[in-house]
Amino acid sequence: MRLLVVEDDKDLNRQIKSTLEDAGYAVDTAFDGDEGHFLGDTEPYDAVILDLGLPEQDGITVLEKWRREGRNFPVLILTARDRWSEKVAGFDAGADDYVTKPFVTEEVLARIRALLRRAAGHASSELECGALRIDTRSARVTFDGEPIKLTSLEYRLLAYLMHHQEKVISRTELVEHLYDQDFDRDSNTIEVFVGRLRRKIGKDVIETVRGLGYRLASVENSKS
């Protein structure tokens, strides 16, 4: 899953980015409203963390523009402002959730997980597809109850497919949502990661839809 952090405090921006990356997300950053608006308008993010008190354009203006332009990714607002009127303004502009500074990074992570679940239509933090399960709180993956060890990118790919069950996901979409802006992207590596996952969770779990991409299949039996 790919996230954008728009925060002008460089130390806080770096802290949030590091925390999110440690949790398994691909993360891009912006430090003012102009840059944040441009990235959100041109890149396919799964969620955005947005500060209100930004230089160039404030967060409310950026958010209102995104919503007018049809950008419907979930947005979590971070701000030092705690007046109820400013919270209302954020929600009315299109925010999905709100955290007031100072905050604990674990709360931000929990709220991001919840936003991503709701956006994909899932109510629980544990995602299931047949015998395959992912606990998004701990990034723990099991198949038939047995733990599966995955690399960061393998987990990221599998988690994206799990969040979008029943949908055929193209290689292009996977590339756009697995890697941050600075990563040297190559769609051929997706086939490599899918092959590795099939060896770990079973060859029938990830279905290849010829000419279109990949889709999770509900497999109840043990790995084969």
Residue 222's pLDDT is 44
Are residues 133 and 112 located together in one domain of the fold? no
Are residues 103 and 19 located together in one domain of the fold? yes
CATH of the domain at 76: 3.40.50.2300
Are residues 90 and 136 located together in one domain of the fold? no
Are residues 34 and 61 located together in one domain of the fold? yes
Residue 223 lies in a domain: no
Are residues 61 and 137 located together in one domain of the fold? no
Are residues 161 and 113 located together in one domain of the fold? no
Cα(50)–Cα(98) distance, integer angstroms: 9
Residue 116 lies in a domain: yes
- Of 120, 152, 177, the last residue of a domain is 120
3-state per-residue secondary structure call for the chain? CEEEEECCCHHHHHHHHHHHHHCCCEEEEECCHHHHHHHHHHCCCCEEEEECCCCCCCHHHHHHHHHHCCCCCCEEEEECCCCHHHHHHHHHHCCCEEEECCCCHHHHHHHHHHHHHHHHCCCCCEEEECCEEEECCCCEEEECCEEECCCHHHHHHHHHHHHCCCCCECHHHHHHHHCCCCCCCCCHHHHHHHHHHHHHHCCCCEEEECCCEEEECCCCCCCC
Residue 76 lies in a domain: yes
Are residues 188 and 208 located together in one domain of the fold? yes
* C-alpha atoms less than 13 angstroms from C-alpha of 4 in its C-beta half-sphere: 28
- From first to last of its 224 residues, the chain has per-residue pLDDT tens of 899 999 999 999 999 999 999 998 999 999 999 999 999 999 999 999 999 989 999 999 999 999 999 999 999 999 876 677 878 888 999 999 999 888 999 999 999 999 998 888 887 889 998 889 999 888 899 988 899 999 988 999 999 999 998 899 998 899 888 887 766 666 678 888 999 999 998 888 899 998 899 998 776 544 54
Are residues 50 and 132 located together in one domain of the fold? no
- Of 60, 85, 120, the last residue of a domain is 120
Residue 220's pLDDT is 59
Are residues 75 and 111 located together in one domain of the fold? yes
Residue 221 lies in a domain: no
Are residues 6 and 70 located together in one domain of the fold? yes
pTM of the model: 0.82
CA 169, 121, 152, 203 torsion: positive or negative?
negative
Residue 222 lies in a domain: no
Residue 160's pLDDT is 93
Domain interval for residue 32: 2-120
Are residues 81 and 112 located together in one domain of the fold? yes
Residue 186's pLDDT is 65
Domain count, the chain: 2
Residue 35 lies in a domain: yes
Are residues 112 and 131 located together in one domain of the fold? no
CATH of the domain at 188: 1.10.10.10
